[in-house]
Structure 1
Amino acid sequence: MFSIDEILVRNTIILLLWLEYLFETYLSLRQFNTATKAKDVPSEIKDLMSNDDYSKAREYSLAKLRFGFVKDFYSIIVTTVVIHQGLLGIVWDYSESINPFTDEVSTSCLWLTILSFLSTIIDMPFTIYFTFILEEKFGFNKQTAVFFVWDKIKAFLVGQLLTSMISSIVIVVIKNGGDYFFIWLWAIACIISLILLTIYPAVIAPLFDKYTPLPEGELRTKIEALASSLKFPLTELYVVEGSKRSSHSNAYFYGLFKSKRIVLFDTLLAKDDGTGCQDDEILAVLSHELGHWSRNHTIKNLVIMEVNLFLLFLVFSFMFKYKLLYQALGFTHIQPVLVGLFVVLQYVMMPYNTLLSFAMTVLSRKFEFEADDFAVQLDKGRYLELALQKLNKDNLGFPVHDWLYSAWHHSHPPLLQRLNVIKKGVKLFEEKKK
């Protein structure tokens, strides 16, 4: 039985989860109502989207919102039951009972693996529906059933391997780091994050998708010339076979210090059916991406992440010995440090995490405008406009948004706002050139 104090802590966690769920649902309902009413193409974008493209994008947006309503409600019910019934503690007891070892590290890793497996199974019906019904209906899914199953198995195995390794290190540092373990934990976390940023694109991502060098030709020559003109330390230029998974498009760069790699999705390249972008439009998209590099956006985000980690670990160092946090979740006879870390970071810091997420969304929008302006200053503005319109069409982006939903969720500015700012920038740029 739970004590009064344990019930209070448990119910406070549940209340915070439901408040967040209700707020997110309220925002989604606002967007759903906006999309439902916006049946006709707004006058300001009649030149950008045909009636058919607009109608299809609207239906896709509504379908995803309906899916989100069901999935989010299901998720909050499952989470409420898990916390209310102390199922996390029950899984821990089971992990102890089947673990041939008696140490906390191995039990914690086994506990995480079991929870991850159960979570995967619980979410699988929604994943299958989204991939093979919703995305299939709108022409995005390219996965076969065999590819899907093997992809999920690989993702689970790789995820558990990385999670177990990192969790083991975290537990050892916390238990042996003394009163100021949070400093050591933060230093180790910084090192691990840098290692993952380095090895994930080069080692882990190729386990899931095929990466091939961009063939010699005009596009490659233009990209290399662009990188050279900006002194961008380009070492590799790849095309990822994203079309086996989805028809959505993207491009990005990765790498630390003087070794950078650019990756283009094959869906971004122009095709016979009219989808994709022409060479000059791809160069404009890459100019935007290189704008993030030039303005040090990646470094700034990394610094914010590390400062945030330090604050989270500092709070954790004060709270992880609070017995009620464990007892409220069903841990009656033990206080596993990994469970404490999970509870503090996931539940106790929930209000802070929510506000930080919104602040990062605002900052991300600012960075996107700065990257767009960088492309404009390279005289790529007009091609960037065309590329954004094509990508929006190919990805069935719906251009009409409720202002509050967009402000809270969209890390990239809405298409119309973004195009308007680019147009103004192009006009100013061309006036300066005269």
Structure 2
Amino acid sequence: MKEMITLDEYSLRNIIMILIWAEYSWEAYLSYRQCRKAISTDKVPDELSTVMSKEEFEKARLYSLAKLAFQSVKDTQSILLSSYVIYFGPLAVAWNYATNINPLSDGEVTISCIWLFLISLASAILDLPFAIYYIFVLEKKFGFNNQTAGFFIWDKIKEFIVSQIIMMIISSIVIIVIKNGGPYFFVWLWAIVCVISLILLTIYPSVIAPLFDKYTPLPEGELRTQIEKLASELKFPLTELYVVEGSKRSKHSNAYIYGFFKKRIVIFDTLLAKDDGTGCKNDEILAILSHELGHWSYNHITKNIIAMQLNLFLVFAVFSVMFKYPPLYQALGFYNIQPVLVGLFVVLTYVLKPYNTLLNFLMTCLSRRFEFQADDFAVKLKKADALERALLQLNKDNMGFPVNDKLFSAWHHSHPPLLERITVIRESSRKLN
């Protein structure tokens, strides 16, 4: 029996390794395709020849290649770290250390929280050099970074503290439910996590987001009047209209709609028109918000939440079947104990990797469909021309490279490529007229 368990342990470990290396190889192949596409494309597409100069196109191409190279290095570090975790058992070592420093005589909840903190701290430290390079080297080189070192450090500290508080609370609840919920604990676990996620989505705009960025009401004026009129015409229950000080971080721009009960529209200050030619004009901002209101009109957010909750239920159900399987823990060095949080980590991260990969692709496909629907909504509001100009301006301001390998784009881009969106918008506008 012991030999069979040992065999199962090594077999499971090898299967996990095959899965993570297969995904890494696939991602590397896709990145190679996109890199080859960017290197071989040195001419501005005809559709953009009047709005994008040769110099701007070249800079966007180099920015794209730099991000691909950075991601390749980061992915390599990630796969090597995962291999180390699986073969050398540092998670079990961290658990033993957490047990030794546990202030209580027993209690899996306390040990799990200490263990989770140690793992999170190690992960944050390992990720820090990449974050520093990306923001202060890569982004700065292409003129996007506005962060100071002090802002970056304080931001990371706040991010770590907030994430730890949330994770500790959720993890403690998860452990208690699993250990006391009986044979159908996964149903109770799913219901409780569902409620927690909805609470977090509700309080995020008013409690969590202001910890990181400054939100101020959009000043009275033509733009605010036009936005309020648009919301009124569409019967959108707008309660708050904010400008977020995104320029303290970078020059990238965006806008979004958020909230369940209190609907808010948030516009990045970098999206507003500037004297240097960046940003969007009022009619272009209205077109962008018409697109966002399209997501609201078609209930895309609700549909995504439902899909997320169905996925959670399935994941918890699978976990309920597998979490008492000893080799699941032995594969990561846990031979004498079976902490439920470790089991959940193994199932979510490794066992369900093929499922998660497929699900991510399907959700990307669904997201692209939603984006086309939102674009069509804006077109029906007679915003086609303004939306096209806005997309071109955003692509220019964010230095987006408009040429993509089809397979890479289909796998990674939750938003359709620029040229494809413009083509569909023009066709929809033509049919409407």
TM-score, length-scaled by structure 2: 0.98
Q: Which residue of 2 aligns with 1:361?
A: 364
Give the letter aligned to residue 416 of structure 1: L
2:32 pairs with 1:26: no
2:342 pairs with 1:339: yes
Q: Which residue of 2 aligns with 1:390?
A: 393
Superposed CA offset, 1:236-274 (max 9, x none):
0000000000110010111114x2001000000001111
Identity of aligned residues (%): 66
SS across alignment from 2:256: strand
Q: Which residue of 2 aligns with 1:10?
A: 13
Written as runs of structure 1 = structure 2, the 5 A alignment for 1:231-250 is 231-250=235-254
For residue 42 of structure 1, report the CA deviation from its aligned partner.
2.6
Q: Which residue of 2 aligns with 1:76?
A: 79
For residue 4 of structure 1, report the CA deviation from its aligned partner.
2.7
2:136 pairs with 1:132: yes
Q: Which residue of 2 aligns with 1:120?
A: 124
Q: Which residue of 2 aligns with 1:158?
A: 162
Q: How far apart in 1 are the matches of 2:23 and 2:205? A: 33
2:403 pairs with 1:400: yes
2:289 pairs with 1:286: yes
Written as runs of structure 1 = structure 2, the 5 A alignment for 1:89-128 is 89-101=92-104, 102-128=106-132
2:305 pairs with 1:302: yes
Q: Which residue of 1 aligns with 2:426?
A: 423
For residue 5 of structure 1, report the CA deviation from its aligned partner.
2.2
SS across alignment from 1:263: strand
SS across alignment from 1:274: coil
Written as runs of structure 1 = structure 2, the 5 A alignment for 1:187-336 is 187-257=191-261, 259-336=262-339
For residue 44 of structure 1, report the CA deviation from its aligned partner.
3.4
2:53 pairs with 1:50: yes
Q: How far apart in 2 are the matches of 1:40 and 1:282? A: 29
Give the letter aligned to residue 133 of structure 2: Y
For residue 124 of structure 1, report the CA deviation from its aligned partner.
1.0
Residues paired across the two proteins, number: 429
2:179 pairs with 1:170: no
**Structure 2 unaligned regions, length at least 5:** none
Q: How far apart in 1 are the matches of 2:47 and 2:300? A: 32
For residue 12 of structure 1, report the CA deviation from its aligned partner.
1.2
Give the letter aligned to residue 97 of structure 2: Y
Q: How far apart in 2 are the matches of 1:352 and 1:69? A: 23
Q: How far apart in 2 are the matches of 1:5 and 1:176? A: 28
Superposed CA offset, 1:299-357 (max 9, x none):
11111111111111110110000011001101111111111111111111110110010
**Structure 1 unaligned regions, length at least 5:** none
Q: How far apart in 2 are the matches of 1:42 and 1:280? A: 26
TM-score, length-scaled by structure 1: 0.97
SS across alignment from 1:47: coil
Give the letter aligned to residue 171 of structure 2: S
**Equivalent of residue 88 in structure 2, options 56, 66, 85:** 85
For residue 107 of structure 1, report the CA deviation from its aligned partner.
0.7
For residue 200 of structure 1, report the CA deviation from its aligned partner.
1.2
Give the letter aligned to residue 36 of structure 1: I
Give the letter aligned to residue 366 of structure 2: L
2:41 pairs with 1:41: no
Q: How far apart in 1 are the matches of 2:431 and 2:43? A: 33
Q: How far apart in 2 are the matches of 1:362 and 1:74? A: 28
SS across alignment from 2:336: coil
Q: How far apart in 1 are the matches of 2:431 and 2:222? A: 30
